[in-house]
């Protein structure tokens, strides 16, 4: 589930919702929607989030990406 992993990895990175939102150029409310499961980031946003949090995109978004 996107919401749980994103919340966990954001907190591990020591970031607030506002911090991540500013780095992505979006609102804090959008981060909240992702973390509560009311919305999902685009694939491009997911890649950017993983880069910012310095984790593999598969860990933050296991349902969005898969290994072949």
How is residue 49 written in tokens? 């989030």
CB atoms within 10 A of CB 61: 24
Q: How far are the Cα atoms of 1, 65, 66 from residue 17, in angstroms, in the given order? A: 18, 23, 26
- The pLDDT tens digits of the residues spanning 1-56 come to 567 899 999 999 999 999 999 999 999 999 999 999 999 999 999 999 999 999 99
Q: Which helix (H) or strand (E) holds 66?
A: none
Q: How far apart are the first and last CA of the chain?
A: 20
Domain span holding position 10: 2-60
Structural domain includes residue 29 = yes
Structural domain includes residue 56 = yes
Structural domain includes residue 39 = yes
Specify the number of domains making up the chain: 1
Structural domain includes residue 18 = yes
Q: What is the CATH number of the domain that holds 28?
A: 1.10.260.40
pLDDT value of position 19: 98
Structural domain includes residue 65 = no
Structural domain includes residue 66 = no
- CA–CA dist 39, 14 (Å, integer): 23
């Amino acid at each position: 589930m996107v919401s749980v992993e994103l919340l966990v990895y954001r907190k591990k990175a020591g970031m607030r919702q506002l911090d991540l939102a500013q780095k992505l150029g979006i609102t804090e409310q959008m981060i909240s929607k992702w973390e509560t499961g009311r919305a999902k980031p685009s694939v491009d946003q997911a890649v950017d989030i993983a880069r910012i949090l310095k984790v593999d995109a598969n860990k933050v978004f296991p349902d969005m990406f898969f290994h072949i």
